[in-house]
Amino acid sequence: MDILTNTLVLFKEYVASYLGVGAHDNTSMSCPHISGLTALLKAAHPQWSPSAIKSALMTTAYTQDNTKSPFQDAARGALSNPWAHGAGSVDSHEALSPSLIYDISTEDYIPFLCSLDYTVNQVQTIVKRSNVTCSRKFSNPGELNYPSFFVFFENNGVVRYTQVLMNVDVAWSVCHVTINVPSSVAVIVESPMLFFFGKVRDKQNYTVTFVVEGARDASMSEFGSIVWSDGQHQVKSPVAFQWTVVRSNSKSMTFWGLFFLHL
């Protein structure tokens, strides 16, 4: 899951009496909800790509309820986490002015799909282009400039990503980064922790390295976040950490496949 919406529930007792229809909730209502928000953002920012709109919705989402308490996962009877709520619940007001976005071109998805070991025929079917090849593919699927991060520790316990942020707010913006990680992970920001954007649509790269440090339960996921702020806006990306391989019913599959197919 990438994002939550404030789904609308129409109670059967009321609706059946007055309108003669049943109740609708969950994806039945969240889909038109998020579609409407997407249309709103596109109308406000016609030049934004679908990925820019998705970034705005995800990085401005919230993860606390109206009592300022963390979301609860009713299914598990415990605190929710990014596997359940993604980046959080959409905030239409904040999404209109996120200050920074992670943009992705349609061409970037081709090496991403190839890095997930799809065959060339499968990639051609997905992108509907017969001339596509996998001559270029990411060494790690995390190279996709996505607004959330998955860190899968394998052999050496070190994962490094370089991401690109684009300023969509105002000229002369200054943003700083705050990174929150569990105690079992150390983090190094190899690029400046303070960015200056001279004009709108300026882009800046940053590189972050995650290193396994200390004891951890290797069978469990852990979570953190990367937050960029200009003092007025916050652009927050969830980070999920995993040490093991997940197996589906049909075949073995790294968490990368599950992460991007289901988030």
Q: Which long-range contacts (CB under 8 A, 24 or more apart) does 212-220 make?
A: 212/153, 212/157, 212/158, 212/184, 212/185, 212/186, 212/243, 213/183, 213/184, 213/185, 213/186, 214/183, 214/184, 215/184, 216/182, 216/184, 216/243, 218/243, 218/244, 219/243, 219/244
pLDDT at site 220: 81
3-state secondary structure of 159: strand
* pLDDT tens digit sequence for 164-175: 999 999 999 999
Give me 179's structure tokens.
């990174």
Q: Which of 7-21, 172-186, 191-205 has the lowest mean pLDDT?
A: 7-21
Burial 142-169 (b: 16+ CB within 10 A, else e): bbbbbbbbbbbbeeeeebebebebbbbb
Count Cβ atoms within 10 A of the Cβ of residue 17 and give its class: 0-12 exposed, 13-18 middle, 19 or more buried. Answer: exposed
* pLDDT tens digit sequence for 55-99: 999 999 999 988 999 988 877 788 889 988 899 999 999 999 999
Percent of the chain predicted with pLDDT > 70: 81
Give me 78's structure tokens.
């415990």
Give the mean model confidence (pLDDT) for residues 224-249.
83
* pLDDT tens digit sequence for 187-209: 988 877 789 999 999 999 999 99
For the chain, how far is it from start to end, CA to CA, in angstroms? 4
Quote the pTM value.
Answer: 0.84
